[in-house]
Structure 1
């Protein structure tokens, strides 16, 4: 009987397949739901794009409606580019641009020349603020504050002085939102004027507006009101002129800004607290603009005691806010005090956990799945910056505290004495001895980079105890035992990942600004922020009495109201800015900097000066020049100056002779002052966004943040970028950086003048905030081949005793020709050593031993710069003679020439002439 075949039925067992499918249900709780991508047809796509277009138009209309309201007028800053341009006439044209213009003038006691106009045709409000071109930092601050810059050009562009060109360079490098050029003349050739300006600076919108009638003024106001605010930056060949970033600083859109109208000092005892005799309270009044002023920041809380907000005064530092009064939209007076924070019970304070992996090492922390609190955490285990003010300088070492803190005389003397060694300019000769020494040192560093001499009286093992040897600079791992950190590193903040933290911070602030209207007065009847567009009175305390009096004298009128004339200039503007989270904490900031083009072009002139200075020094050392006194000594100085000038003239004649041109040479200014060498750890004035401070940066070559950066003794004069590292508060990019030189003048008796702001030497932007970045200094110990036998060489003059040879025996050697070798054994008792290289050595070669050490910038951060580096009274402006003509130079302007004695008669005549335009 045949066997029937097997047929599968419905009851067949189906075993489970074990294929190891990846399970992701724990990651996505809705994984069991099937999401279907619906494909839109043509009509649906058309309707979707229409809806997006309508939404964008509504956002633009909402933005346009919010600009120019009575609470938020458009701030227009008028900057004249010549002393012959009547700024008050341009302001008057805007006031009379239409017959029914409403003009709202500030009271006579207002510190700034501000006029508010209401155009009924445009239905917009405008604030017209007059600036002064002789006030460099005042113009920079107002450019940060302004919604629109109006640059008033003279009808003859040759009337623009060099100081205004420097001012425009600084403004373009700092960045601004929008700007327009205007000329108060009907006979000017606008096309030719634009071509002349575009030779040095890019013209926004490639247009120069004519401002010679009320109709033209109305057209310019219509253009300002209808143009959306956008940050200007140049493209193409003028990109470096305008700055490296597209905005002036991190978002004026994220900060509260206030132009102070009046300042008062309160020294009597307050109702809720007592003020000591050495402390005062500074009362500032003005109108808030921009973002709301938040009175409680969750991310800045670190402990059980709630900390109030801090505000920044440009040029003076950070100050705690203890009280605020304002009138809201319902015309009700509101008040907030710092004591209200401790009475709140239902404010949810967000505790930021301490970062467990924020150590000063090069660990990889690129995980993108951290929580918000973990992303925004900093190394606050040793933080005490919420309780200490930067002006107290409690975190600075004892040496720097004696130099940069205390009374004004000590700080004046310390800054002047520090700059005298490297940056003192002579009042009797073209170049001082300090300047010539710096020229020679920069030239020696260029000819023999990183080479140092071993001291004969000190063992090399003691002199270079902090140095170590590496087989290769970049590929070698930095030894942990050589990673010595300074004492003040325990008080600085370190982000786990700065760029990720910056992105998270921006999202956090944008979300906070989007929800701020619903948190005006939370439960408990306590205000969480002050809305923008209100007149507010801010009380800052504690402030030392000396500092408060300096702020009052620097930003107020020197004479009473009845003694002032309408033509008198206004005081320097004072701006108040709110701070973003963590910006009150100190850290290590790295800036990407570029030298100015004029400094790059003058490199050959510096070489000629250095060679001439070397010849003068050699003649002195050889005893050719006898010791002279009195008139003979001054004659000797004149001879040395003449030798330097003759060398420069012959050098320029050789260069210009090829082009059949005559060498242009100014004996008073043989080279541009910004071309002078810049040494690491020299005191510099840094303008970083809203902050202005004195620091001592060190320079290094650009590198990957996780790799070692090579320390540079001097700021290289090249087109490539250089990284400058300073101690400064935390910043969020983009932030544009301006670097000014601090100078002092040395007279015939050797006495030093007060430090003053020199020229703009470099511009750049913020690179990162990273204390763990390694900056390594490299030195070469050089030796001479004494006996050569192919690859075996006896080297001398590198060391002076055999103990040092044995100590550095494990360090690899190299030669200038590229050979690599090592020390075999010492020879004799005078430091000779037997070495073996991988190739034959010639007699003209040099043996080098590279040693490395990690370096840190000087812990110098002085935010109170307006008190020491500027003159409070503009009546002390001095006169500079230029080709038989006189021109006034303010104490705050870039002083590119030697000071001269003022002429009272000419000063009076210029005041009388200016009264005609009042």
Structure 2
């Protein structure tokens, strides 16, 4: 065997390769090269994003099915059994020719039930075929009556006519019951068999279905009450379907009033007024107040059992109960009961209320939280000095106050304010928000131009003529594009510092603090005694959880004994419903509602105009204050003079608290079209509200109440650049005397095109002044200053008090 030949190998290069550095923070380019051609896989971080096995998916589906079945059984448990609660069925006509009594008779005859029904009373029938009880609540062709009936119903039967189209009143009724919240909807048509020829009947039914689907898309078919088979289908749906309920209603305890008893006692106020009905929603507690629509708020004296005579007889025979035994008491008030006080007692007011604002003579306008520009400081109280112990008054003259920049009004923003980036801080020049400019000048910045020059006042006749020409052109511009909606014009003989005494300036409308001490003399009555909620979300959750525990269980027929009922209510009709209020819902607070107008409303709604609102079970007469709904760091929001169609705003008034996002309906009295009645109608508009003459103009939702929320009304004073020399501008027509210029000298000037500046000095005695800006102005530009005044909300009144 030949010896193995050794092959000599030379290395290919003299370079040595070192171990590459594995960086965890590679560049974007390096990562891109590494992942080139690869498909990135999404990462699943949370447990519900993880991949599940087939067995886990099947188990999860079974658990969801069981949970859904339990919820359905729990929702229907209140209706089961011979003594179960009846299902409330509201029958609402959508046109004047609908015969509600005929519809009820057709429904009963379809399931072989013979019972006397009427369109004026509530009737209860037992459907043996489905082992359920139905309680029919007929409604009139009336807006408020239909709303009262629908909010007590588990099912709403909308009755359409085959011959008469649904007019404006019927459409308004549909929008209203949809806005307040509605449970299951069933649509029926009356008089379909009278349509000739018969082949047109399916077309009429299809047309009615498309109309009702515009408001309630879940409706699958419009059934005819002239057909026995379709009436039977309606009754089957009413007896077997699970009512979805109304959320705001079912968060409270409520009751349909079946019977009412007044005591024989006489007097202005009587006790032991008894309302009978079946508890629904949550448990009914004697400690909580109850609200009866049309009557008001009352305290409960006791809650006793009131079973039906048939059920009571069977149970008494089985148990041999003594007939002389009184009714069973289910609940009585405890020490935790709510009182009828709407505001806090006077002795519980905050201590800071005793602090009064120093009544001193101010020399300038309030800017943020300071008064500025006063050469004479004699009117200000002396600030105490920090002196060593034992220093005499003479020696104190040699001690200089320790002044630091920490108290400057030009403080730097703290780092913690970076968290407010989610806030709405964007704005316009009139709000004090300007684009960042590198060449921006400050008020105290040096200037290469002379600080004063000779100025001659124009003749009074020429000045008046020029002022009128200028304002005429400004009015034309404002009418064209509404460029300055908050602009006001002062008469030359009116002193601006007196006309705008309550107004103040803000460096930045959305970030500058609002000094509340200046508003103390103008606060409404009992403003400091209103309910204040620091943590609204937490308080709401605790209150709603509290309603889940205790009280008389739903489904039990009870007698509710009321105390302190005015005898004047005897003359009113029997109430239809009773609502148990949650804790604190009787107390007054600053109510905020996110409101918008209906699409059918074309004209804007003026702020502080009298309206009728329905908020949950209550109806109030309010004069709301509209403001922007933005989220600002300083909680200051701009007052809106009008609520325009297509926009939303926060409507504010003082009224009872309502927990949760409860829907709100907004009504307004219809205007008289008869010219002869216009004068008398305007005179009586404030005195009387006609409930039968209301129209739905808007809807809303209750948001968190906030007493510290400032609604600021803005006033803009504008001037005209008379002379322009680079950044030095002579301005006229903003003020008309030198005293007003000195008073408002601290305010920042702004222009329509985004420039900012300050007043330097007054020129003459007719209101001309010199100003410096951060850039050269255009001669066509307009100069303005913004002033703000807090607007307080007005107190609401209960509708039953106004129409009583």
TM (norm. structure 1) is 0.59
Q: Which residue, 541, 550, 560 being the options, matches 1:538? A: 560
Higher-Rg member (1/2): 2
Q: Which residue of 1 aligns with 2:270?
A: 280
Q: For residues 869 and 784 of structure 1, do their structure 2 counterparts lie closer, same or farther at Cα, with a shift above 3 Å needed?
A: farther
Q: Which residue of 1 aligns with 2:136?
A: 128
The CA distance in 2 between the partners of 1:53 and 1:316, in whole Å, is 45
The CA distance in 1 between the partners of 2:290 and 2:632, in whole Å, is 31
Displacement of 1:705? 6.7
Q: For residues 154 and 179 of structure 1, do their structure 2 counterparts lie closer, same or farther at Cα, with a shift above 3 Å needed?
A: same
1:494-553 CA distances to partner (integer Å, 9 max, x unpaired)?
Answer: 22221232233333333x1xxx4xxxxxxxxxxxx34444444334332444xxx3x433
Displacement of 1:578? 0.5
Are 2:745 and 1:809 aligned? yes
Q: Which residue of 1 aligns with 2:689?
A: 755
Q: Which residue, 708, 711, 714 being the options, matches 1:772? A: 708
Displacement of 1:78? 0.3
The CA distance in 1 between the partners of 2:300 and 2:723, in whole Å, is 74
Q: How much is the aligned-residue C-alpha RMSD, in angstroms?
A: 3.6
Are 2:184 and 1:175 aligned? no
Displacement of 1:694? 0.8
Are 2:342 and 1:386 aligned? no
Q: Which residue of 2 aligns with 1:418?
A: none
1:214-236 CA distances to partner (integer Å, 9 max, x unpaired)?
Answer: 332221122223322225xxxxx
Kept in 1, the 8 Å contact 2:87–2:154? The answer is yes
Are 2:490 and 1:454 aligned? yes
Q: Which residue, 146, 157, 161 being the options, matches 1:139? A: 146
Paired residues for 1:324-473 under 5 Å: 324-327=303-306, 333-334=326-327, 341=334, 386-388=339-341, 446=482, 448-454=484-490, 456-473=492-509
Q: For residues 284 and 153 of structure 1, do their structure 2 counterparts lie closer, same or farther at Cα, with a shift above 3 Å needed?
A: farther
Q: For residues 102 and 709 of structure 1, do their structure 2 counterparts lie closer, same or farther at Cα, with a shift above 3 Å needed?
A: farther
1:697-729 CA distances to partner (integer Å, 9 max, x unpaired)?
Answer: 111111127553533443332323211111121
Q: Which residue of 1 aligns with 2:526?
A: 488
- Higher mean C-alpha deviation, range 737-746 or range 332-341: 332-341
Q: For residues 695 and 68 of structure 1, do their structure 2 counterparts lie closer, same or farther at Cα, with a shift above 3 Å needed?
A: farther
Kept in 2, the 8 Å contact 1:743–1:755? The answer is no
Paired residues for 1:301-312 under 5 Å: 308-312=287-291
1:156-191 CA distances to partner (integer Å, 9 max, x unpaired)?
Answer: 352x23211111111112220111111122453355
The CA distance in 2 between the partners of 1:848 and 1:444, in whole Å, is 19
Q: For residues 126 and 691 of structure 1, do their structure 2 counterparts lie closer, same or farther at Cα, with a shift above 3 Å needed?
A: same
Displacement of 1:41? 8.5
The CA distance in 1 between the partners of 2:718 and 2:543, in whole Å, is 50
The CA distance in 1 between the partners of 2:562 and 2:703, in whole Å, is 32
Q: Which residue of 1 aligns with 2:105?
A: 92
Q: Which residue, 844, 847, 852 being the options, matches 2:780? A: 844
Q: Which residue of 2 aligns with 1:509?
A: 547
Paired residues for 1:256-271 under 5 Å: 256-263=253-260, 265-266=262-263, 268=265
- For 1:503, what is the secondary structure of its paired residue? helix
Displacement of 1:255? 2.2
Q: For residues 387 and 80 of structure 1, do their structure 2 counterparts lie closer, same or farther at Cα, with a shift above 3 Å needed?
A: closer
Q: Which residue, 817, 820, 836 being the options, matches 2:756? A: 820
Q: For residues 765 and 209 of structure 1, do their structure 2 counterparts lie closer, same or farther at Cα, with a shift above 3 Å needed?
A: same
Displacement of 1:63? 2.8
Q: For residues 751 and 772 of structure 1, do their structure 2 counterparts lie closer, same or farther at Cα, with a shift above 3 Å needed?
A: closer
Paired residues for 1:561-572 under 5 Å: none
1:757-802 CA distances to partner (integer Å, 9 max, x unpaired)?
Answer: 4321111211222222222222111222233333322222222221
Alignment coverage as a number of residue pairs = 591
Q: For residues 445 and 709 of structure 1, do their structure 2 counterparts lie closer, same or farther at Cα, with a shift above 3 Å needed?
A: farther
Displacement of 1:265? 4.6
- Higher mean C-alpha deviation, range 259-268 or range 176-185: 259-268
Kept in 1, the 8 Å contact 2:262–2:273? The answer is yes
Displacement of 1:487? 4.5
Are 2:105 and 1:78 aligned? no
Kept in 2, the 8 Å contact 1:94–1:218? The answer is yes
Q: Which residue of 1 aligns with 2:279?
A: 289
- For 2:620, what is the secondary structure of its paired residue? strand
Q: Which residue, 758, 767, 781 being the options, matches 1:831? A: 767
- For 1:769, what is the secondary structure of its paired residue? coil
Q: Which residue, 230, 234, 247 being the options, matches 1:220? A: 234
Are 2:579 and 1:577 aligned? yes
Q: Which residue, 117, 123, 142 being the options, matches 1:115? A: 123
Q: For residues 55 and 867 of structure 1, do their structure 2 counterparts lie closer, same or farther at Cα, with a shift above 3 Å needed?
A: closer
Q: Which residue, 611, 618, 643 being the options, matches 1:684? A: 611
Structure 2 residues not aligned, in runs of 5+: 1-50, 196-200, 317-324, 349-475
The CA distance in 1 between the partners of 2:683 and 2:501, in whole Å, is 38
The CA distance in 1 between the partners of 2:642 and 2:52, in whole Å, is 59
The CA distance in 1 between the partners of 2:155 and 2:748, in whole Å, is 60
Structure 1 residues not aligned, in runs of 5+: 1-38, 232-246, 270-276, 297-307, 343-348, 351-384, 396-439, 517-528, 557-572, 603-674, 871-918
- For 1:145, what is the secondary structure of its paired residue? coil
The CA distance in 1 between the partners of 2:592 and 2:147, in whole Å, is 22
Q: For residues 784 and 733 of structure 1, do their structure 2 counterparts lie closer, same or farther at Cα, with a shift above 3 Å needed?
A: same
Q: Which residue of 1 aligns with 2:357?
A: none
Q: Which residue of 2 aligns with 1:794?
A: 730
The CA distance in 1 between the partners of 2:608 and 2:480, in whole Å, is 18
Kept in 1, the 8 Å contact 2:279–2:558? The answer is no
The CA distance in 2 between the partners of 1:867 and 1:816, in whole Å, is 49
Kept in 2, the 8 Å contact 1:261–1:284? The answer is no
Q: Which residue of 1 aligns with 2:295?
A: 316
- For 1:172, what is the secondary structure of its paired residue? helix
Q: For residues 743 and 801 of structure 1, do their structure 2 counterparts lie closer, same or farther at Cα, with a shift above 3 Å needed?
A: farther
The CA distance in 1 between the partners of 2:690 and 2:747, in whole Å, is 47
- For 1:451, what is the secondary structure of its paired residue? coil
Q: For residues 808 and 733 of structure 1, do their structure 2 counterparts lie closer, same or farther at Cα, with a shift above 3 Å needed?
A: same
The CA distance in 2 between the partners of 1:444 and 1:868, in whole Å, is 42
Q: For residues 707 and 793 of structure 1, do their structure 2 counterparts lie closer, same or farther at Cα, with a shift above 3 Å needed?
A: same
Displacement of 1:117? 1.5
Kept in 2, the 8 Å contact 1:823–1:834? The answer is yes
Displacement of 1:747? 5.0
Displacement of 1:483? 5.9
Are 2:252 and 1:255 aligned? yes
Q: For residues 86 and 177 of structure 1, do their structure 2 counterparts lie closer, same or farther at Cα, with a shift above 3 Å needed?
A: same
Q: Which residue of 2 aligns with 1:161?
A: 167
Kept in 2, the 8 Å contact 1:715–1:722? The answer is no
Q: For residues 229 and 456 of structure 1, do their structure 2 counterparts lie closer, same or farther at Cα, with a shift above 3 Å needed?
A: same
Displacement of 1:205? 2.8
Displacement of 1:446? 4.2
